[in-house]
Amino acid sequence: MASTRTPGRRSRAFTVFLSIVSVFVVVVLLGGGILVWTVQRSFPQLAGDLTVAGLDGEVTVLRDDAGIPTLEADSAHDLFLAQGFVHAQDRFWEMDFRRHVTSGRLAELFGEAQVGTDTFVRTLGWRAVAEEEVALLDEKTLGWYQAYADGVNAYLDQRSGADLSLEYAVLGLQNPGYEPEKWTPADSVAWLKAMAWDLRSNLEDEIDRTLMATELTPEQMAQVYPPYPYSENPTIVPSDPPAPAPASVGTATPIAAISDETVDSLVELRGILAAMPALLGRAGSDIGSNSWVVSGELTESGLPLLANDPHLGPALPSVWYQMGLRCSTVSEACPFDVGGFSFSGMPGIIIGHNSQVAWGFTNLGPDVADLYLEKVSDDTVELDGVLQPLTIREETVKVAGGENVPIRIRSTSRGPLVTDISDEFGTIAADYPATAELPDGSYELSLQWTALTPGRTPGAIFAVNQATDWDSFREGAKLFDVPSQNLLYADVDGNIGYQAPGLIPVRLSGDGTVPQSGWTSGTGWSGYLDFESLPTLFNPPSGYIVTANNAVTGASFPSLITRDWDAGYRASRIVERIEEGIASGADFTADDMSSIQADNTNAIAERLAPYIADLAPSSNARLGTDLLEGWDFSDDADSAEAAYFNIFWRNLLENTFAPKVPDETPPAGGSQWFQVVAGLLDDPESEWWASEDDSIVTRDDALTLALSEAWTEAERTMGSNPDDWTWGELHTLTIRNGSFGESGIAPIEMLFNRGPYELGGGSSVVNAVGWYAPDGYTVDWVPSMRQVVDLSDFDASTWINLTGASGHAYHSNYVDQTTLWQKHETRVWPFSPDAVKQATRDTLTLSP
């Protein structure tokens, strides 16, 4: 990959631009009338009649008081054309920004500061792969994507500049000549690459393991990367009897010393990954989801209930867009009657239900990305002793307000070269098929990733939307190549099911946990697991299925999916709640499902409690143990105990564990470190507890120090009276616009961002409002939406979004759902024609 500027660095021109914009914003804010006019001019027409080019017949758009639309059309062509039009009405800036990210063209909007990011995205080739996938679409599917694009373009024909969105008014101060291009099917499909990237599983872990191994022994690596706790936490597909845990990940591929240059290169790559626009959220174990389904045998209605809440990074507007899509007469020619959560920029419904089946997603998390150390000489790469030519393509990054930047992208047969590594890589993993001493040469890292192979996912969405039973649902799932998701299923006939889909590589050697040697054909992938061999479950005897990024199968499953499962604390708690309900004889309702989604039980607090209670500390630590006595381990927003415990937890990680690992890989909290600490509690003399200066020697010393320092920090941040402490005061969410909301200029951010909102929940808690311990307590990941589908009466289903339907700042539907979401309240989800009509506030007729 060509060397580039650091993605996050601002150019002088961009800094000057932001200063000008901030002055403009202050002037606009002082002149309130100007602000109202500037903002409201982009609000779309929601009622009455509009002419839309390309339609064959009329389409009705019925919106409720939250601005959520249900579209009804006589043909699938008109339905998706109208969906594109409506998405553009509410979310076009979001769509335009995303397509600039996915095509490596952010510098065309924001200038030279984005050249590094654009270069990396182009190196991965998201847009190129998307165009290949469009070329593979069958005529009908391509026609639906094209109809959607035609609808977006029909809206662009009617509006431009600030009439599209407030962001264009701000952008126009720096980039006055910018005009959005026409939308294309590839713009839609490229979004799937961004989704796959943000859900790519363990790429950062692969880098972190290599960096960790520079300072930790193999035994310590095994403790930091423990295997999934099969004996404690559940698998999605039951293992009977439970299989023993495999060898620890930390010892699977031990790493000896590596060169400083290699460490620097891996740190550089890690920094590039962190600087990438995370459209679904920053990488980490908290990117995940909860989804579970209970059969009619366990429900009040006698038919299944399906719950789902994907955990992603917070965004404004929300990554999800709620809507209904209905053919006036459902037929083979127009087979859609579906509602749920869509992505603006994409046709169809991603998660939701139709008139026969419902489905939910959680991230399966297979290891689908590997790094390889390649021996490169000029424009060739060595493989089995033979020099082979690299594939080279040259592109130009256009820069707003600056000179164009040519880039040169090189790829091996496995994938693109993503960073340069100078000098020697040093000693590599003991089980590599190469010798420990590398010959002289230049070494670089390449990336092999399933999403860089053209696949069938663009057609999977429509297939799932049309499914009428388990068999047709599985046929749709079979097309879902990337990203691999846990697909949960229920139908009106009372069936429930689970299917793992996706391209999951079969490795010739290694387990994908650390970079492999690329100069031999003895590494790499030999193919993918066959769909029929992937885990599946249908109508299990238990009457329920739970997926929460936990291990799918027992350790005896014959094929490797990943070594990096979430440790399963959320899944365990959900199972516990369901089993408690079964034991009490209760019949589950939709409200019960929502109650489980709101569960704040903190597993590591419960595990640590007896060890804290056994301490006999003095001073501040004693005040801490007294406060925690009798706590129910619930991370409620109004809880003083939750506030103090989480401060204690962060101090424990920072004081005890962070000094022993590389600075680049600090303890993040979450399920991995829950498991690490829990595994050490019964070894009070472990070297992990001791400090470098020997002032702390044992587990009890470390716990006492963390309790004392946590009390001091709590008093400093929340005052001296614990009665005034609350977890929500620390654990706040500011929802940020993904572009101008991250500018660093307060007046601009004030236009687009909203918050802070005080929240309960936490990392590895069912209410997965996650936080990254090295940065503090603010919220980094959230349940991005919540749904509960009632298969006995779809109109009794509920849903809630993180924000609102509108992407227009200051619109009444911009963040109108956020306070409901914050309080774990939800909205009725009208689906039947009568229910939709009764909920309608605005009716818009689109005509040819």
Which tens digit of pLDDT belongs to each residue from 579-605?
Answer: 999 999 999 999 999 999 999 999 999
Phi-psi domain of 753 (left: phi exceeds 0; alpha: psi -120 through 50; beta: other): beta
The pLDDT, as a whole number, for residue 745 is 84
pLDDT for the residue numbered 425: 29
DSSP track, 235-252: -SS--SSPPPP-S-HHHH
pLDDT at 251 over 80: no
Give me the residue label for tokens 């959560």: 341
State the alpha helices, DSSP H only, in 199-329.
Answer: 203-212, 218-224, 249-252, 260-275
The pTM assigned to this predicted structure is 0.92
Radius of gyration of the chain from Cα atoms? 27
Q: How far apart are the first and last CA of the chain?
A: 48
pLDDT given at position 727: 98
Half-sphere exposure of 719 (CA within 13 A, CB side): 8
Quick count: other Cβ atoms within 10 Å of Cβ 325? 26
Give the pLDDT confidence of 623-650 residue by residue, as tens digits. 999 999 999 999 999 999 999 999 999 9
pLDDT at position 31 over 60 = no
> What SS3 class is residue 536?
strand
Task: In whole angstroms, give the CA distance from residue 280 to residue 630.
Answer: 38
Q: CA-to-CA distance for 157 and 151, rounded, in angstroms?
A: 10
Nearest alpha carbon to residue 447 among 380, 367, 385? 367
Q: Give the sign of the dihedral formed by CA 316, CA 342, CA 180, CA 129.
A: positive
Whether 206 contacts 428, CB under 8 Å: no
In the prediction, which pLDDT does 418 show?
Answer: 87
H/E/C letters for each residue in 429-491? CCCCCCCCCCCCCEEEEEEEEHHHCCCCHHHHHHHHHCCCCHHHHHHHHHCCCCCCEEEEEEE
What pLDDT, on a 0 to 100 scale, did the predictor assign at position 25?
52
- Above pLDDT 70, what percent of the chain? 87
On the CB side of 479, CA atoms within 13 Å amount to 19
Q: What gap in Å lies between CA 712 and CA 787, rounded to an integer?
A: 41
Average pLDDT across the chain, whole number? 89
- Residue 325: strand, helix, or coil: strand
Q: What is the pLDDT of residue 9?
A: 41
Q: How does pLDDT run across 677-736, given as a tens digit for each residue?
A: 999 999 999 999 999 999 999 999 999 999 999 999 999 999 999 999 999 999 999 999
526-583 pLDDT, tens digit each? 999 999 999 999 999 999 999 999 999 998 899 999 998 999 999 999 999 999 999 9
- Residue 289's DSSP bridge partners are 310
Beta bridge partners of 528: 505
Dig out the tokens for 52 from the structure: 């839309």
Report the length, in residues, of the chain: 848
Closest CA to 113 of 224, 241, 46, 15: 15
DSSP H/E element including 374? strand 369-377
Q: Please say whether the beta carbons of 71 and 83 come within 8 A.
A: yes
535 burial class (0-12, 13-18, 19+ CB within 10 angstroms)?
middle
- Is the pLDDT at 430 greater than 60? The verdict is no
Whether the per-residue pLDDT at 75 is higher than 60: the answer is yes
Question: What percentage of the chain's residues is helix, strand, coil (to nearest 5)?
Answer: 40, 20, 40
Nearest Cα neighbor of 684 from 667, 695, 696 is 696
Answer yes or no: are the C-beta atoms of 477 and 461 closer than 8 Å.
no
Confidence label for 257 from pLDDT (cuts 50, 70 and 90) = very low
Q: Which of 37-46, 53-62, 275-284, 663-672 has the lowest mean pLDDT?
A: 275-284
Confidence of residue 204 (pLDDT cuts 50, 70, 90): confident
